[in-house]
Amino acid sequence: MASERHFSPVDRLLLQADAALRTLLPFSGQPTRPSPAIVQPESELDEQQAQHIAGLMRINHTGEVCAQALYQGQALTAKLPQVRQAMEHAADEEIDHLAWCEQRIRQLGSQPSILNPLFYGLSFGVGAAAGLISDRVSLGFVAATEDQVVKHLDDHLQQLPEEDQKSRAILEQMRADEEQHACNALEAGGLRFPAPVKFGMSLLAKVMTSTTYRV
What is the distance between the alpha carbons of residues 178 and 181, in angstroms, rounded to a whole number? 5
42 is in an annotated binding site: no
What is the distance between the alpha carbons of residues 4 and 68, in angstroms, rounded to a whole number? 25
Residue 104 in the binding site for Fe ion (CB under 5 A)? no
DSSP percent split of the chain into helix, strand, coil, nearest 5: 75, 0, 25
Type and span of the H or E element at 195: helix 195-212
Contact stretch for Fe ion (CB under 5 A) within 59-67, 127-135, 161-169, 201-209:
59-67
Q: Which of 124, 105, 2 is nearest to 54 (CA)?
A: 105
Contact stretch for Fe ion (CB under 5 A) within 10-18, 61-69, 132-140, 164-172:
61-69
Residue 84 in the binding site for Fe ion (CB under 5 A)? no
* Residue 97 or 104 with smaller CB distance to Fe ion: 97
What is the Rg, in whole angstroms, of the alpha carbon atoms belonging to the chain? Answer: 17
According to CB under 5 A, which one of 181, 190, 193, 205 is a site residue for Fe ion?
181
* Residue 94 or 164 with smaller CB distance to Fe ion: 94
Residue 96 in the binding site for Fe ion (CB under 5 A)? no
Q: List residues binding Fe ion (CB under 5 A).
A: 64, 94, 97, 178, 181
Binding residues for Fe cation: 64, 94, 97, 146, 178, 181
